[in-house]
Structure formats: C-alpha cells, structure tokens
Amino acid sequence: MDKPSLLLTRPRASAEAFVQSLDQQVMEDVLVCISPLLEITPLGTKADLTGYTGVIFTSTNAVSFVQDGQGMPAFCVGTRTAEAATGKGWRVERIAQDADALVASLSKDPVNGPLLHLAGKHRRGQVAERLSAIGITTNVTVLYDQALLPLSDEAQEILRGDRPVIVPLFSPRTASQFAKEAGVTRHIQIIAMSDAVAEAVQSTAVQEVHVARAPTAKEMRRGVEMLLRGDSLG
C-alpha cells in the first residue's frame, strides 16, 4: 500500500523547515507537495518603540520584519517565535503556547505597560484589545500582510489521486482557504493545530480531522509522523 502524500500549505520557507524537522525514516517514499496558501509581504513599516516597556510577538514573521531589540523585553507566542526574537536581540520574558495563554499569563502576573503588539494585518485573538481591557495598555503596529493564494495545480492533482493525503493546517485563515480551494477531499486527513483551525474546515467532507494535543509545532510533527506510520490518533 502506498504511503500517504503530505500536502503543506504554509509559506514555503516554513513548510520546508517543517519537512526537515520530521523523522526522515518515516518520510521515506512520502510524496511531499508544498503549495503555500499565504504570501507574507512586508509593508516596510518601522516600529516606533518610543515609550513602550515591551513588545508582543505572536509569530516569527513579525520578528523578521522588525528592527533588533537591543535588550527590550518581549512576550512571545511559541518557542520558535521566542528563539527568533532572542536571535534578534530581544529579551524574552515570557513564552506562551498561544494567544489565549499569553493573555491569561499577563492577566495573572501583569507587567507595566504600555506594550506594543507587532503583528500582521490579519490576526486573531484580540491580544491588544484584551490586554488593554484589563489595564495593560497595548497598541498594535502592523508590519506585514498575508495575501491568500490558490492551491497549485500540483496540489489539486495530488488531491485527485489515489493516495491518501495528510494536510497539517496551522491557522484558521489558511484552513478556510484550503476548504474553499480543495477540489477533492474524500481521502484527506487533516491535522489541525487548534479547535479554531478544525472549525474552519468542519464543513468540508474530508476523511478525518484530528486536533493536535497542544498548539505547538512539536505536536503537529507528532501527529503527522503518527499518520505516516499508519498509527491511530484516536
């Protein structure tokens, strides 16, 4: 029996890094297709950090498009984001699994503001609004856009093929675009990074939708590797 194909819809650099992070023995004979559904475009905005006591990063993209931190405090979502921030001179003071966890952490153990959320044009979680509502004044500077892209012809051909297809989806917006673009879905197994991602594809007639045990790259890798081995995710 043929191994499943693996269809990745993240921006190409992130997708390639994800493939490299997988167990390469498991990847033997796996057909990999990278068809980004988002194009990350910097807006050329320079973040004015004057008067702020720290910044919030909820993605590595924001870290890429901002100036060096020079030791300024940063509050991050995800270990990869924190590592990227550290590499650019930010002093990471807190790491949370997702936006909700970061807001909860700052609610329980507040910091002095104001803070600046460095983000993309399309963002979820209302981090700045929720923190401001509890007394930690937080503003937003948009550094990049995330334009939607169609699935490639190669991706559509894989979906029409006989192999089962594993599709890890990392964001609700990407999941919604995938649901809109996918021509054939009968033998797709989706691994969603969160319940919100799973909800975005719930109307799509796929074979199965699995939600990662935690919204982390590690758990997404675990899910993909288990399905490639033929193991059940329960």
Model confidence, pTM: 0.84
Identify the CA nearest to 116 among candidates 160, 181, 72, 175.
Answer: 72
Q: What's the whole-number mean pLDDT along residues 27-36?
A: 92
Q: What is the DSSP string of 127-148?
A: HHHHHHHTT--EEEEEEEEEEE
Residue 205: is its pLDDT beyond 80?
A: no
**pLDDT tens string 61-86:** 999 999 999 999 999 998 989 999 99
**pLDDT tens string 91-144:** 999 999 889 999 999 999 999 989 999 999 998 889 999 999 999 999 999 999
Residue reference for tokens 């905005």: 45
Residue reference for tokens 């507040």: 110
35 with 151: CB under 8 angstroms? yes
Q: To the nearest whole percent, how much of the chain has pLDDT over 90?
A: 75
Domains of the chain: 5-37+149-229 (3.40.50.10090), 40-146 (3.40.50.10090)
Residue 1: is its pLDDT beyond 70?
A: no
149 with 37: CB under 8 angstroms? yes
Rg (CA), the chain: 19
User: What are the angstrom distances between the C-alpha of 183 and each of 2, 6, 143, 153, 191?
Assistant: 22, 16, 33, 11, 18
Residue type, 99: A
- Separation between Cα atoms, residue 6 and residue 1, nearest integer Å: 15
Quote the pLDDT of residue 70: 95
DSSP lists the bridge partners of residue 209 as 190
234 pLDDT tier (thresholds 50, 70, 90):
low
128 with 52: CB under 8 angstroms? no
Q: Could you give phi then psi for residue 156, rounded to 5 degrees?
A: -65, -35
- Separation between Cα atoms, residue 228 and residue 164, nearest integer Å: 10
175 with 192: CB under 8 angstroms? yes
